[in-house]
Structure 1
Amino acid sequence: MGTSALLAIFFVAAYLGYKVISQVPPLLHTPLMSGMNGLSGVTIVGSVVVTAYAVSTGSQILGFIAITFATIKLAGGFFVTNRMLKMFKVKQKGEVLK
């Protein structure tokens, strides 16, 4: 496949992804984010496996970068999801939510 075909696929996928996510109702944002966090966990496992079998130093460095970014995304996703879930908690009398 040529470079132009790959770029066309990338832009179409990005556009469709944007359109799909923009149509998600606010009530479903938290469950959708939780699902994406699970997918990020799978990405980390895949990155570790591919990096373990990498032969060249360049591939190992790219694998390390992929593992690092996927880990940051996973931790950030759980942090944001936890914060969103706190918004739905009913606070007791005199309690202040942080």
Structure 2
Amino acid sequence: MSLFSWIAENQQLIYIVILMIFVGIEVIGHVPSVLHTPLMSGANAIHGVVLIGAIIVMGRAEPGNYLALVLGFLAVVVGTLNVVGGFVVTDRMLEMFKRRKPKL
């Protein structure tokens, strides 16, 4: 199977991905600066999907397929860091808006 035949078979999918990239750039480009932190925190939290996919890849990989196992492990580590980082950023941002109790 050559590259050109793969592209011909998946042409509609490729168009959809390219369109999603342009729409994502347009949407993110028009977000006010004040909303970037919560938006990015939420986007990082969505990386839980990456964790699930990585676990599935690692679970279905053959025992001798070290490339799939290593890539799955790296995806789990990086996805976990991204999810935890997103929640840490969100927590810090919400701490800024809490009212402080006056000291007596």
Q: Do Structure 1 and Structure 2 share a fold, with TM-score over 0.5?
A: yes
- Name which of 24, 29, 47 aligns with 1:22: 29
2:87 paired residue number? 78
Q: For residue 28 of structure 1, report the CA deviation from its aligned partner.
A: 7.5
Q: Is residue 52 from structure 1 mapped to residue 76 from structure 2 by the alignment?
A: no
RMSD, aligned α-carbons: 3.0
Deviating 4+ runs (over 2 angstroms):
5-19, 24-36
Aligned pair count?
92
Structure 2 residues not aligned, in runs of 5+: 1-5
Decide which structure has the larger Cα Rg and report it. 2
TM-score (norm 1): 0.69
Residues 44 and 85 in structure 2, CA contact (< 8 A), matched pair in contact too: no
Residues 30 and 85 in structure 1, CA contact (< 8 A), matched pair in contact too: no
Mapped partners of 2:68, 2:30: distance in 1: 37
- The sequence identity of aligned pairs, in percent, is 31
Q: Is residue 69 from structure 1 mapped to residue 78 from structure 2 by the alignment?
A: yes
Q: More displaced, 69-78 or 18-27? A: 18-27
Seen in structure 2, the aligned counterparts of structure 1 residues 32 and 73 have a Cα distance that, compared at 3 Å, is closer
Structure 1 residues not aligned, in runs of 5+: none
